[in-house]
Structure 1
Amino acid sequence: MKSTEAPLLVKNKQQSEEEERERIRWEKMKKVASMAAPMVAVNMSQFLLQATSTMIVGHRNELSLAGIALGSSFANVTGFGILFGLSGALETLCGQAFGAEQYQNLGPYTFTSMVYLLIIAFPISILWIFMNQILILLHQDPQVAELASVYCLWLIPALFGYSVLESLVRYFQSQSLIFPMVLSSLATLSFHVPLCWLMVHRFEFGVKGAAVSIGISYWLNAVFLWVYMKRSQTCLKTRIYMSKDAFLHTKIFFQFAVPSAMMCCLEWLAFEVITLLSGLLPNSKLETSVISICLTTSTLHYNLVNGIGDAASTNVANELGAGNPRGAHDSASAAVIIAAVESVIVSSTLLLSRNVWPYAYSNVEEVTRYVTKMTPILCISILMDSFVIVLSGIVRGTGWQKIGAYVNIASYYIIGIPIGLLLCFHLHFNGKGLWAGLVSGSTLQTLILFLVVGFTNWTKEANKARERILDEKVRRDDSFVN
């Protein structure tokens, strides 16, 4: 009798264990999805601040549209992108500290980020003051360069508001406090649109009005979040205080901030390089218009799927900080599955509507035909970008920003851009060749990050996270004693 019961008991035990694992995976997927959806609203609201400003200014005349488009591009690469990347250090530090229940660390980490981002905003501001001369050196049209430089000059206050805002966003994100950010972002956007219209059209400030309205909106959003943090009981244990102790965390902040900024900026810069190169082609106006449409669509998708990446980063960091390697693995897997579903839906929709969606950007037949031909390549790009964004979120949550930076350099600057140049200028595929080069870079990036995440020893990473948090606790306690 024992010989027949023993195998049955083993089988039932294995079945119950498998059911338990399946239940945990499903719970992780729901947890990631429930955070990703509202984060999409937060990211899209912030993206639309600049997008709606461009649209409102663009209705004045073609020169104003070209000026604000060039200014926004320059500002994103040299300013906002750098600050956005640097603040990514908090996804590792705050996320893991919150998971380890070291709530008292979140406030100092966030205040450290605010201080250093505000300091770094000063040299960026000086660069923007001389932007007109820089753009002229890059052979841009003098009139367009002048408007772009005026826009960036008046955008400088927004740079400082963004420094505070992005630090607060990472602070709230690491605690999964998404609802306050959704309310704040949507309220700011609702305020921004009429304000920008009044500044641009009613008071005739043009690009200056658009820049000022963005600055006011960033600061307003930051104030909303700061007041909530100070007043809400949910932030009682993690509250941010202004203190000279901010400099105690300098080393560990920049340990993650610099490679995080490289991850972000190197990828953004690759797309800007491709846009600039399209201006060297024979029919440059057509090629640049088509590349710009593809870039705008890709950016819109980036802000959509970045919510999933943020959710992946937060959940992985929280689980590692809590010393739960299995939970980190399941959170990463859930985020990848959600990204796969999202990418298939978006790319399939674009492909099936390839004869229709280009008209959302232009009514010029030559442009829409070209974009239709580019759509299959763009769909592959979107497919790869979905995985890249989520895998990059997992990388930030784990604290592998250096690996992510090296992968970006190899993918885009050793492989992607050279292939784009070869296809464009030597094989005469023009704009399609340039974009195909980016696709090859993002494909390689996806494959490498998949391998990195797939072969991760999550137990080892959880131990590293706990050791880092413990070291910081000892250092903080020593500073209080001294």
Structure 2
Amino acid sequence: MAGGDQRGDSPSSHELSGRLEGILADGEAPWARRACKAAALEVRLLAPIAAPAIVVYVLNNVLSISTQIFCGHLGNLELAASSLGNNGIQIFAYGLMLGMGSAVETLCGQAYGAHKYDMLGVYMQRSTVLLMATGVPLAVIYAFSRPILVLLGESPEIASAAAVFVYGLVPQIFAYAANFPIQKFLQAQSIVAPSAYISAATLVLHLVVGWLVVYRLGMGLLGASLVLSLSWWVIVAAQFVYIAASKRCRRTWTGFSWMAFSGLPEFLKLSTASAVMLCLETWYFQILILLAGLLGDPQLALDSLTVCMTLAGWVMMISIGFNAAASVRVGNELGAGHPRAAAFSVVVVTAVSFVITVVMAVVFLIFRDYISYIFTEGETVARAVSDLCPFLAATLILNGIQPVLSGVAVGCGWQKIVAYINVGCYYFVGIPLGFLLGFKFHLGAKGIWTGMLGGTCMQTLILFWITFRTDWNKEVEEAKKRLNQWEDKKQPLLAGTVDY
């Protein structure tokens, strides 16, 4: 369905986008004046996406953080177990599902910019079908988490406790499978605030139910993870009800369609490329946790790195919010045929994200001696966390740039290229260097983290160079080709859709 303004699809964003391209194309006006006017317009376009997206990602991350806090106050073993289960096993599924879901992000973002509204709902459903099918083998992996962790060299005691935690996260796998396509579907339309309200309400429910289940009912690690899974399903259900009932989605969601089951092999190829790109990225710091479990004092290493990685993950949610905004803005502009606006959006969103993360890095350095007490009362862990804070600060600063550039890659559809870059920088440089420094040079957690920071820095520089040299006019043409390829011009084999 091409063209036409619609109240539910924010026609003002399309108008602002056109004005932005016009300002940037005006060669007669002074560069400084054009830059200021364009920046003001870009902020108006970014804010409705980035601000609520940051809130959504932060609140959803707090679900996991609060669960680890519940477990941490049960004891150091429980903290290590929840860390290993959450950051060592659960993030495996998270990375895979999020990666496959980014195919929807590319297609929905560009289709919305091109006014092909009817295809957004079809893309969302196709992705959900594929992700649900992927969830089945992941559930089997979860079931064998204890022997897997022991095989990887983790302590049997910690592995057994982590396995109990992981069993309760099996329902969360399928919540992810439904959530990420829904999330990308809404983000492509700049509809993010409702998800923020839903996440806020769910967090309150999660804290109350989690406290009752873990402490009052005494269900421990299993109860904590089951509550986390329940909270994710509440988010999924609430978002779907909003889509089905809201007038804002009336043209992009027309009900269930048999078209969701057509073209699945081709869609799987794009989803696989997306998954490889983001999985390699997400699993990278998972390996840091797993390597830490092989050090001489695994419980202390895991506890201190858990605190640092959890804090890094919290700040990372800010960058991921800008990642989403960059992907949507770049995808929308390319779909609309606005190369200058796409390039300018990259500059603005990267600069804003970088400044915010630098400020957060400074804050953590100032309070380095106290931040661990949020998670555990141990003084030994507090000293270890304080010692790692400079590495945490460096990670935060890199994370102010790297996720945004990854979002640009998703908006452009560069997932396959970035996958190769990630393999080289992360797995041929970062991890071997971290292993060498951590074990051969006996630098422990610091050495592992230093090596992996080197891989991240290299990847960031390469992405920056690729983005800097991009021919945005060519990217507009590529977006047109992609949408023509993926738009269904045939009627579905089985009649009609099921409308609400």
TM over 0.5: yes
Q: Distance in 2 between matches of 1:197 and 1:17?
A: 57
Q: Is the CA contact (8 Å cut-off) linking 1:57 and 1:206 kept in structure 2? A: yes
- C-alpha offsets along residues 261-320 of structure 1, whole Å, 9 cap, x if unaligned? 222221232222222222333344443333333222221111122111111111110111
162-171 or 99-108: bigger deviation = 162-171
Which of 108, 117, 123 pairs up with 1:109? Answer: 123
Contact 1:96–1:465 (CA<8 Å) still a contact in 2?
yes
Q: Is the 8 A contact 2:88 2:287 kept in 1?
A: no
CA distance, structure 2, for counterparts of residue 461 and residue 40 of structure 1: 27
Cα-to-partner distance string for 1:34-80 (whole Å, 9 max, x where unaligned): 42111111001111222212222333334333333222223323322
Q: Do residues 210 (structure 1) and 228 (structure 2) align?
A: no
| CA distance 1:440–1:464, change in 2 (3 Å) | same
Question: Which range moved further: 196-205 or 319-328?
Answer: 196-205
1:23 equivalenced with 2:26 (yes/no): no
Deviations 1:71-124 (A, max 9, x none): 222332332221121111111010100010000000000000111111111111
Q: How does 1:119-138 map to 2 (within 5 A)?
A: 119-138=133-152
CA distance in 1, matches of 2:189, 2:359: 30
Pairing 1:265–2:276 present: no
Partner of 1:61: 75
Q: What's the CA shift string for 1:114-141, capped at 9, x where partnerless?
A: 1111111111111212222222323333
Instruction: Map residues 401-420 of structure 1 onto 2, 5 A cutoff.
Output: 401-420=415-434
For residues 41 and 427 of structure 1, what CA distance do their matches in structure 2 show?
41
Give the superposition deviation at 1:209.
1.8
1:347 alignment counterpart: 361
Aligned to 1:5: none
Structure 2 residue aligned with 1:321: 335
Q: What is the distance in 2 between the residues matched to 1:228 and 1:84? A: 21
Give, in whole Å, the separation in 2 of the partners of 1:82 and 1:114: 13
Residue 7 of structure 1 corresponds to which residue in structure 2?
none
Deviation at 1:254, TM superposition (A): 2.5
Aligned to 2:301: 287
- Contact 2:357 2:397 (8 Å CA) reproduced: yes
Deviation at 1:341, TM superposition (A): 1.1
> Which of these residues, 119, 132, 143, is aligned with residue 118 of structure 1?
132
Q: 1:481 to 1:322 in 2, by over 3 A?
A: farther
2:480 corresponding residue in structure 1: 466
Q: Distance in 2 between matches of 1:277 and 1:301?
A: 23
Pairing of 1:291-370 with structure 2 (within 5 A): 291-361=305-375, 364-370=378-384
Q: Is the 8 A contact 1:111 1:246 kept in 2?
A: yes
* CA contact 2:80–2:302 (8 Å) conserved in 1: no
> What is the RMSD of the two structures over their aligned residues, measured on CA atoms?
2.3
1:16 to partner: Cα distance: 4.8
Q: Decide whether aligned partners of structure 1 residues 291 and 203 sit closer, same or farther in structure 2, where only a CA change above 3 A counts.
A: closer
The answer to whether the 8 Å contact 1:151/1:207 transfers is yes
CA displacement 1:165-216 (0-9 Å, x = unmatched):
1211111111100111111111111111111222222222222222222222
* Per-residue deviation, 1:13: 7.1
Q: Which residue of 1 aligns with 2:187?
A: 173
Matched, 1:384 2:398: yes
- Displacement of 1:401: 0.7
Give the direction of change, closer, same or farther, for the CA distance of 1:48–1:13 in structure 2 (3 Å limit).
Answer: closer
Which residue is 1:476 aligned to? Answer: 489
Contact 1:350/1:375, CA 8 A, preserved across alignment: yes
- Name 2:59's counterpart in structure 1: 45
Q: Which has the larger radius of gyration?
A: 1
Cα 1:102–1:71 change in 2 (3 A) is: same
What CA distance in whole angstroms lies between the structure 2 residues aligned with 1:65 and 1:356?
Answer: 18
Q: Could you tell me how far 1:362 is from its partner in structure 2?
A: 5.2
What one-letter code is carried by the residue in structure 2 that aligns with 1:230?
Answer: A
Equivalent residue number for residue 453 of structure 2:
439
SS at match of 2:294: coil
Question: Residues 477, 355 of structure 1: CA spacing in aligned structure 2 closer, same or farther, 3 A cutoff?
Answer: same
Q: Quick one: structure 1 residues 320 and 278, their matched pair in 2 at CA, closer, same or farther if it must change by over 3 Å?
A: same
Name structure 1 gaps, 5 residues minimum: 1-11
Normalising by structure 1, report the TM-score.
Answer: 0.91
Distance in 1, matches of 2:27 and 2:323, equals: 35
Q: Does 1:253 align with 2:285?
A: no
Q: Distance in 1 between matches of 2:485 and 2:426?
A: 36
Conserved in 2, the CA contact under 8 Å of 1:111 and 1:240?
A: no
1:79 and 1:132 map into 2 onto residues whose CA distance is 16
Do the aligned partners of residues 111 and 294 (structure 1) sit closer, same or farther apart at CA in structure 2, a change above 3 Å counting? same
Tell me which amino acid in the other structure corresponds to 1:254.
L
Q: Following the alignment from structure 1 to structure 2, what is the Cα–Cα distance between the partners of residues 60 and 373?
A: 25
TM-score, normalization: structure 2?
Answer: 0.88
The whole-number CA distance in structure 2 between the counterparts of 1:28 and 1:195 is 41
